[in-house]
Amino acid sequence: QVQLVESGGGLVQAGGSLRLSCAASGLSFSSYAMGWFRQAPGKEREFVAAVSWDGGSSTYYTYYTDSVKERFTISRDNAKRTVYLQMNSLKPDDTAVYYCAAALGTFRQVPPRAAFRSWGQGTQVTVSS
């Protein structure tokens, strides 16, 4: 059974930083692309970032939504079965519940939303102005 457990959320002032972690179990971690999504109150869940690992070429592919480029960095540690989201220069608009998700396969372009079949429970990020 796949389990994804997020941590690292909290309350931060605008301009501050947070690092989210997602620990995965019950899956062959390196075979999965990992993503972060977020959902603000009253809004639909949206894609934030994803990272895919190509073991054959030892290449990481990373993808970001435009609003977080240059501020957020996604990374993964296959040995620790963990994916991270470093969030810098946070804005009040970044306030949301952040979800970790897993998609089986290697993606050389942005993984489609439907590919993410496993989800964590989410961690709250609140950015005060």
Each residue's pLDDT tens digit, 48-102: 999 999 988 989 999 999 999 999 999 999 999 999 999 999 999 999 999 999 9
Going from the C-alpha of 28 to that of each of 34, 36, 113, the distances in angstroms are 12, 18, 20
Q: Which residues contact 91 (CB under 8 A, 6 or more apart)?
A: 14, 127
Percent of the chain's residues with pLDDT above 70: 100
Reply yes or no on whether the pLDDT at 127 is more than 90: yes
d(CA 104, CA 52): 10
Span 27-41, average pLDDT: 96
